[in-house]
A and B are shown apart, each in its own frame.
Chain A
Amino acid sequence: MRYLPLTPDDRTKMLAKIGAASIDDLFVDVPAEARLNGPIADLPAHASELAVERHMAALARQNRAAGDGPFFLGAGAYRHHVPASVDHLIQRGEFLTAYTPYQPEIAQGTLQMLFEFQTQVARLFGMDVANASMYDGSTACWEAVVMARRITKRNKALFSNGVHPHYRSVARTMAHYTGDVVVDSDPELNAASDWAELAASVDKDTSCVVVQYPDILGRIDDMTALSAACAQNGALLIAVVTEPVALGLIKSPGEMGADIVVGEGQSLGVGLQFGGPYVGLFACRQKYVRQMPGRLCGETVDANGKRGFVLTLSTREQHIRREKATSNICTNAGLCALAFSIHMTLLGEAGLRQLAAINHGRAKKAAAALAAVPNVTVLNSGYFNEFTIILPTDARSLVHRMAERGVLAGVSMGRLYPDNDALANGLVVAVTETVTEDDIAAFAKALTEELA
């Protein structure tokens, strides 16, 4: 077996040193009835690298890759071009095969990278501090709700109907078991958000209001009035950002008064990967930092006075606080955070703004092309790189027919809201810099033919 260096001779010598007659002697504490006496039947034996690669490649070929043709899916996961150097750098063994930086003297690479990542995320979101990342956007969103409960000592969370339905679903699942109250509903096919109604319904029992920006239909709106309504009632405003590239063009939630901003960082550096691993972003105002979940990296000095970095404020965390911890989270998404950070460094502020503008420009072209298809209307008045179109037919089945024509046309509202017939004709279309003019033309042509 190519990964195991011990030889039979080594094993014999080692058993002698230990004073055991055979390897079985080392498993004597396992009750006899639970011991397996040989390899598990019905499972294959070891295989060569060539054989395994052949098997896995055959499975990979059964998938249509996003890059194989016109591709317009978003709804919480976005296809962006990732510079080649990102993947090269994250595969350096010193990053790839390092552990959590518990021994800071020999983990400054990871720690400095996390400090830079935290700074990038905080600035992108318009917040004071960000943590070293969470599992993904949906779990970060629930953690923000729990954090708001701890701060306000209230347990009612109002969710905008524009929050990703899977994020709402995670929150509802958790709330059922924690005793929190989640007030939420499905969106309606309107150009306007529900934030004005939300502002009117915040009350003194509300711990937080959760909005998504841009939202699941691609809509963007100003949250200033909503944040004022939250502040008046002692509730926190939580903003969820599933497409961080947008913040190169539109105002950050922090600039509009959000208290906690969480997000999905997959867009930058990470890739689609069929849903994971992704990277949860989590940022907040300075005054709430001790109620934050997750790892935090901070600056300090070493015994010789040199600047260095350590994990800090650890008393919030499970390994010290145990059942009183702010969260049970133990890992972060270190390597994905690294990919995010490298991609952001390559872009820089100028590059991010340029990328965002290109995305918006492509989306506008796509929206115009699709609006020109007979019986198709664009719902949104404002959007970034994603918008919703209303079809004259059920979008879900249309998506399958479009796929047969080689076009992955978007995410149907029927996939996202299977029980809501009122939304069945909605199709959420994402357009990034990876979409070409030819792709847009192919989409419009295929759609025209399908609807003819």
Chain B
Amino acid sequence: MSTLNPAGWRPEMTSGEAGAGGVPATFTGNRALMLEEPLIFEIGTRETTGVDFDEVAEDFDLGPLTRSAPIGLAGLSESETVRHYTRLSRQNYAIDLGLFPLGSCTMKHNPRLNEKVARMAGFGDVHPLQPQETVQGALAVIHELADWLVKLTGMASVAMSPKAGAHGELCGILCIKAALEARGEDRRVLLVPESAHGTNPATAAFAGFTVEGIPATSEGRVDSDALIARLGPDVAGVMITNPNTCGLFERDMKKISDAVHAAGGYVYCDGANFNAIVGRVRPGDLGVDAMHINLHKTFSTPHGGGGPGSGPVVLSAALAPYAPLPVVKPVDGKLRLVEEENAADHQPDSFGRMTAFHGQMGMFTRALTYILSHGSDGLRQVAEDAVLNANYVLRSLDDVLEAPFGASGPCMHEALFSDRGLADGFSTNDIAKGLIDEGYHPMTVYFPLVVHGAMLVEPTETESLDVLDQFIGALRSLAIRAKQGDEALKTAPHFAPRARLDETLAARKPVLSWQGE
């Protein structure tokens, strides 16, 4: 990339931005700390490397299998690499920067002790297939975390290997399938409320079930009468989110569970919203048979820009025998991995294996560190503060934004609003993009689907009262601007690294990799 400027070009003023006279364009395209960064393929070369080796390798010829054609990978020196990724990182919003009120995602503080622990050589540099006598500490972490999860949820056991929430859903649903198979029953239908997260019906279908929707009541809860009326010999069970995606506790949960059990089915609970009730309610007391726990939500393992997650599944006594391999069990005073070889002795009814190794160990160490830091009392306080913060947001905004279920009682850890009452042509998206200019990540938008233009705000326990008050002030101002039809909102964000992006173009003519040489 040549950036010499032999003609002495000077930037012209551009109009329409800050100040009546506009602001100057820059030669580089940078704006002070906001730095443009090319792709590695545009700045690196095939010859450059940022790694020195302690020997020069021989030139091997593996005959016809030798890779002789260019691969097309770009290399950068270490200094360039550090700068490239540091510059990219500054184009991201993050919980480390500020409030991240993304409903159903539980963006809470990620303590750095967790990172330090996960990087201890005894955890980070251990192979999954080492002889088990050399990994007793690692197995102890799994066992100790499992014990906490079982006790916090009041369940019989936990399957630790699922790699993320949706993988955990799959685990729970396969446990249900295995249990039905053991009973010799072929039930094909899973009931899923219409307000459910998309992974619920997708998981049910991925596992070969037929999905039937259950409507919500006008107060934002599952229509338990409709659900119970649909139960029968073809229904394998239900998948319910509690607290639900409208931010409410399902008051009828126990009644639903009892009815499902009486009809021979099982209850799957989506535990995405466990943060609202940890330490205050045990799902086991509500008749749940299986529930995944997103360690990256409730137990603060970092979201990492979209993963990795971790989704252990707590199981009732009815489903525990079917849990996938491997499991960790004490045998003769030592911790043992129960795998294919010894499953017959320790987990004979397991439905099999869901992943190559033992689960997200790096997330287990972080989650256990978080749990031990809080303790039983601290976790209870987490739920209380998360719920308190959400109700404070709800009651501080429900005079300017419609809260469709504001009359349905207190919310749990999420406050839900709709876009009703905004000026014609203005919608949730405009408020979301306006929040970006105010220095916040937007809330979850257009979910749950059962609310028009949904805005789902989850502040979490991480935020102080001052931070909440400022956020509420910003959102109030945006709501009022959208009601008054402030056109500047339609083109927001104005101050982000990019303006609104053309998603239609991206989907019509997909460019999914760099096309240069």
A77 with B375: CB separation less than 8 A: no
Q: Which listed residue, B303, B360, B463, B512, touches A297 by the CB 8 Å rule?
A: B512
Q: Which listed residue, A73, A306, A314, touches B130 by the CB 8 Å rule?
A: A73
A210-242 interface bits toward B, Cβ cutoff 8 Å, 1 = contact, 0 = none:
000000000011100000000000000000000
**A440 proximal to B (CB < 8 A):** no
- Nearest Cβ on chain A to B73's Cβ, whole angstroms: 4
- Nearest Cβ on chain A to B27's Cβ, whole angstroms: 16
State which of B194-202, B312-320, B473-481 sits at the interface with chain A: B194-202
Residues of B in contact with A, size category: 35 or more
B127 with A77: CB separation less than 8 A: yes
- Nearest Cβ on chain A to B260's Cβ, whole angstroms: 16
B165 with A331: CB separation less than 8 A: yes
Known contacts A29-B410, A173-B352, A319-B198; is-contact A357 B127 (Cβ 8 Å): no
- Name the CB-closest residue of B to A57: B120
**A323 proximal to B (CB < 8 A):** yes
Known contacts A34-B281, A97-B303, A249-B67; is-contact A345 B375 (Cβ 8 Å): no
- Nearest Cβ on chain A to B32's Cβ, whole angstroms: 17
Residues A390-446 near B (CB distance < 8 A): 399-400, 403, 408, 411, 415, 418-419, 433
A382 with B57: CB separation less than 8 A: no
Q: Which listed residue, A30, A36, A310, touches B506 by the CB 8 Å rule?
A: A310
Q: Which listed residue, A172, A251, A349, touches B70 by the CB 8 Å rule?
A: A349
Q: Which listed residue, B46, B254, B373, touches A349 by the CB 8 Å rule?
A: B46
Residues of B within 8 A of A192 (CB): none
- Name the CB-closest residue of B to A130: B513
Report Cα–Cα, A8/B304, bound state, in Å: 32
Known contacts A107-B93, A222-B64, A346-B81; is-contact A1 B374 (Cβ 8 Å): yes
Residues of A in contact with B, size category: 35 or more
Q: Which listed residue, B75, B109, B361, B461, touches A350 by the CB 8 Å rule?
A: B75
- Nearest Cβ on chain A to B92's Cβ, whole angstroms: 4
- Name the CB-closest residue of A to B408: A29
A92 with B89: CB separation less than 8 A: yes
Q: Which listed residue, B131, B204, B306, B381, touches A132 by the CB 8 Å rule?
A: B306
Residues of A within 8 A of B359 (CB): 275-276
B76 with A345: CB separation less than 8 A: yes
Q: Which listed residue, B207, B281, B342, B358, touches A35 by the CB 8 Å rule?
A: B281
Known contacts A45-B377, A274-B358, A346-B76; is-contact A60 B137 (Cβ 8 Å): yes
Residues A47-91 near B (CB distance < 8 A): 47, 49, 52-53, 55-68, 71, 73, 75-77, 79, 83, 85, 87-91
A116 with B163: CB separation less than 8 A: no
- Name the CB-closest residue of A to B363: A277
A249 with B360: CB separation less than 8 A: no
Report Cα–Cα, A71/B167, bound state, in Å: 32
Report Cα–Cα, A7/B72, bound state, in Å: 56
**B115 proximal to A (CB < 8 A):** yes
**B503 proximal to A (CB < 8 A):** yes
Q: Which listed residue, B92, B358, B396, B512, touches A98 by the CB 8 Å rule?
A: B92
Report Cα–Cα, A97/B409, bound state, in Å: 32
Residues A291-344 near B (CB distance < 8 A): 295-304, 306, 308-310, 312-315, 317-325, 327-336, 338, 342, 344
Known contacts A62-B137, A277-B360, A334-B304; is-contact A419 B341 (Cβ 8 Å): yes
**B290 proximal to A (CB < 8 A):** no
Residues of B within 8 A of A31 (CB): 251, 253-254, 286
Report Cα–Cα, A303/B270, bound state, in Å: 38
A358 with B55: CB separation less than 8 A: yes
A327 with B206: CB separation less than 8 A: yes
A66 with B125: CB separation less than 8 A: yes
Report Cα–Cα, A108/B36, bound state, in Å: 10
Residues of A within 8 A of B152 (CB): 40, 43
B89 with A94: CB separation less than 8 A: yes
Report Cα–Cα, A128/B286, bound state, in Å: 49
Interface centre among B120, B134, B307, B510 (most CB of A within 10 A): B307
- Name the CB-closest residue of B to A122: B513
Residues of B within 8 A of A274 (CB): 123, 126-128, 135, 138, 357-358, 361-362
- Name the CB-closest residue of B to A176: B352
**B330 proximal to A (CB < 8 A):** no
State which of A9-17, A194-202, A366-374 sits at the interface with chain B: A9-17
Residues of A within 8 A of B363 (CB): 276-277
- Name the CB-closest residue of A to B102: A99
**B183 proximal to A (CB < 8 A):** no
Known contacts A47-B373, A173-B354; is-contact A271 B124 (Cβ 8 Å): yes
**B24 proximal to A (CB < 8 A):** no
B67 with A348: CB separation less than 8 A: no
Residues of B within 8 A of A79 (CB): 125, 127
- Nearest Cβ on chain A to B301's Cβ, whole angstroms: 9
A166 with B353: CB separation less than 8 A: yes
B506 with A335: CB separation less than 8 A: no
Residues of A within 8 A of B135 (CB): 63-64, 274
**A105 proximal to B (CB < 8 A):** yes
B122 with A119: CB separation less than 8 A: no
B165 with A170: CB separation less than 8 A: no
- Name the CB-closest residue of B to A110: B305
Residues B68-125 near A (CB distance < 8 A): 69-76, 78, 81-82, 84-86, 88-97, 100, 102, 105, 107, 109-111, 113, 115-125
B206 with A123: CB separation less than 8 A: no
**B418 proximal to A (CB < 8 A):** no
**B323 proximal to A (CB < 8 A):** no
A325 with B57: CB separation less than 8 A: no
Residues of B within 8 A of A208 (CB): none
Residues of A within 8 A of B233 (CB): none
Residues B343-382 near A (CB distance < 8 A): 351-363, 365, 368-369, 372-378, 380-382
- Nearest Cβ on chain B to A191's Cβ, whole angstroms: 15
Report Cα–Cα, A226/B216, bound state, in Å: 53
Report Cα–Cα, A48/B266, bound state, in Å: 41
Residues of B within 8 A of A132 (CB): 306
Residues of B within 8 A of A335 (CB): 302, 304-305, 307-308
Q: List 5 A-B contacts (CB under 8 A).
A: A39-B376, A108-B498, A136-B356, A330-B166, A350-B46
A-B pairs, 5 with minimum CB distance: A348-B75, A275-B357, A60-B122, A62-B137, A335-B304
For the complex with contacts A139-B355, A271-B125, A349-B71, 6 further pairs of A-B residues with Cβ separation under 8 Å are A18-B410, A28-B409, A56-B117, A173-B174, A328-B199, A408-B131
